[in-house]
Amino acid sequence: MSNTNVGRIYIVMGVSSTGKSSVGDALAKRIGAKFIDGDDLHPKANILKMSSGQPLNDADRVPWLERIRDAAFSIEKKNEVAVIVCSALKKKYREQICDGNTGITFLHLFGDFELVKSRMQDRKGHFMPVDLLKSQFEALEVPKEDEPNVINIDINSSFEQVVESCISATKMNSNNKQKVFN
C-alpha cells in the first residue's frame, strides 16, 4: 500500500452485474486495502424486497447509504484504506456517502445494457433478479464531467484489464476531473 492511499476509500459503483464485488475484491487485495461488500450492509428488509422482485426506492436506501457512509468515515478516521462496493446509482446517493468524508473516490464500472444483462444471466446465487436490471439502468444517474472524484471504468474488456484500470485510478490525484479508462 502506498502512502498516497492512506485514509482513502474507493467506492466501486455501478449497476448490478458490472463486476463490482469481484473487481473490488481484486483491487483491495492488490492495493492492500480492506474490502467491504456494500450488499452486506443492506438491512434485511431491503434484501427481502429485492429478492421478491421489487426495486428499492429512495427511502429504502437511506439506512443502507448511512451504513456505507459511516463505514467510510471510520476507515478514513483511522487512516486506513478500503474498497467498498456499492451501486451509488444517483448523484444524491454519492453525495450522501461523501457527507463528512473527504477521502472518497468513486470508480464507476459501466457497460451497455446487453453486456450487463448477459453477465447477470450467467450469475448464480445473487439476490438481484434479472428483471430488476432495467430499473437499475433507469435509476442510474451517470456521473457527469463536473462531478468530482469519479473515475469511469469501461467493463467491456477483460477482468484483469478492468482491475488494472482501477489500480491506475487509485494512483490519480482524487481532485482530478473525471477520467475514462478503457
Whether residue 180 is predicted with pLDDT greater than 70 in this model: the reply is no
pTM: 0.88
Three-state SS letters, the chain:
CCHHHCCCEEEEECCCCCCHHHHHHHHHHHHCCEEEEHHHHCCHHHHHHHHCCCCCCHHHHHHHHHHHHHHHHHHHHCCCCEEEECCCCCHHHHHHHHCCCCCEEEEEEECCHHHHHHHHHHCCCCCCCHHHHHHHHHHCCCCCCCCCCEEEEECCCCHHHHHHHHHHHHCCCCCCCCEEEC
What confidence tier does 125 reach under pLDDT thresholds 50, 70, 90? low
Whether residue 175 is predicted with pLDDT greater than 80 in this model: the reply is no
- pLDDT of res. 5: 79
**CATH of range 3-181; options 3.40.640.10, 3.40.50.300, 3.30.360.10, 3.30.920.30:** 3.40.50.300
- pLDDT of res. 134: 87
Q: List pLDDT tens digits, range 55-79.
A: 889 999 999 999 999 999 999 999 9
- pLDDT of res. 142: 94
- pLDDT of res. 177: 46
